[in-house]
Amino acid sequence: MRTQASDEALLTSTDPEAFGVFYARHLPGVQAYFARRVQDRDTAADLAAETFASALVARRRFVACDTPAAGWLYTIAARRFVDYQRRGAVAQRTREAAVEEAAATRRWMAASLPAPAVELEAGLLRHLPPEQRQAVAAHVVEERGYGEIASQLQTSEASIRQRVSRGLRTLRGPLLIYRTAQELSREDRAYRYGGGHRVPLAAIRPREPLDCSSSASLILMRAGLFKPGHPWISARLAEEWGELGEGRYFTVWANDEHVWLEFTLDADHRERFDPTPSRLAPHSGWLSARTGPTREFTPRHWPGL
């Protein structure tokens, strides 16, 4: 086919070689268009290839009298560039979210856990899949960069980011409940049988006395694991909350008379939240390192925790 044919004729031609001529004619210009905008030759070439692939598919809808063929082609190029920017923005937000999530979890660990528990391989990280445990330990505990970890493990940086993100999502739940229990134990509240049950949880006033079931319900609500209605009594928590059985990091132990919360963030360290004076060890607070008999209590846990 003669190369002197117009762009419009090439796009509307039934000759299988016509689009190849159109491609060769405009490829340098389209690549230059992208090169000025992305300043990366490989990316510019990829975007140019995407543009002509889109043009090849869309040529059936091209009508010569509507718009010049070159203008039609560069409109497609502009759309591919917008798509590229959106992908870049999403990727950047994903990277920033992963970095912030790691930093926030590092702060939570430092603020929530006893110093020995920050050495987490056999502690908080113990229930994570091995690949996630290794990635989280390297990035969050050792504060190593994603690229360095990826190079060592001979995988992609994106894969390491994914492992860290998934691992941190698993850890944030038990850490949030533990921090919530810590905060409630510091609110200078007194114990009172039946305290906190007259009003919805969201309406409980600062320093208002609480009993074991209202304080447990309040912690669960603040951690997002309980609807913001009235507190449940211990018997209802034993029958209805969460799922039956002990949790990996956190367990609600309840029966008809009493309820307390147990944290096992570290394999060798258990803590109990329990405001009931008759059940407290001497000089202990509402949250302290002590255990209690579980034989007559029903264990309940939240899925994944």
CATH code assigned to 97-170: 1.10.10
CB atoms within 10 A of CB 178: 24
Q: For position 257, what pLDDT does the model report?
A: 92
- 236-295: pLDDT as tens digits: 999 999 999 999 989 999 999 999 999 888 777 788 999 988 776 655 678 887 777 788
Question: Same CATH topology for 7-89 and 97-170?
Answer: no
- Say whether domain 7-89 belongs to CATH 1.10.1740.10: yes
The values of phi and psi at residue 254, to 5°, are -145, 150
Angle between helices 212-222 and 157-185 (to 10 degrees): 150
Phi, psi of 261 (to 5 degrees): -110, 140
What count of residues does the chain have?
A: 305
> Is residue 95 predicted with pLDDT exceeding 60?
no
- Cα–Cα dist 134/102, whole Å: 14
> What are the phi and psi torsion angles at 269 (to 5°)?
-140, 115
Residues 175 and 242: their CA atoms lie apart, in Å, by 18
Q: What is the value of pTM for the model shown?
A: 0.61
Instruction: Please say whether the beta carbons of 217 and 254 come within 8 A.
Output: no
Q: Which of 271, 187, 177 is nearest to 225 (CA)?
A: 177
Domain residues of the chain, as ranges? 7-89, 97-170, 177-301
* Residue 119 confidence (pLDDT): 47
Q: What's the mean pLDDT in 125-143?
A: 83
Confidence of residue 126 (pLDDT cuts 50, 70, 90): confident
Distance CA(185)–CA(207), nearest Å, equals: 11
d(CA 209, CA 195): 5
Left if phi > 0, otherwise alpha if psi is -120 to 50, otherwise beta: which for 218?
Answer: alpha
Q: Which CATH class is domain 177-301?
A: alpha beta
Radius of gyration of the chain (CA): 30
Please name the amino acid found at residue 212: C
Given a cut of 60, whether residue 157 has pLDDT beyond it is yes
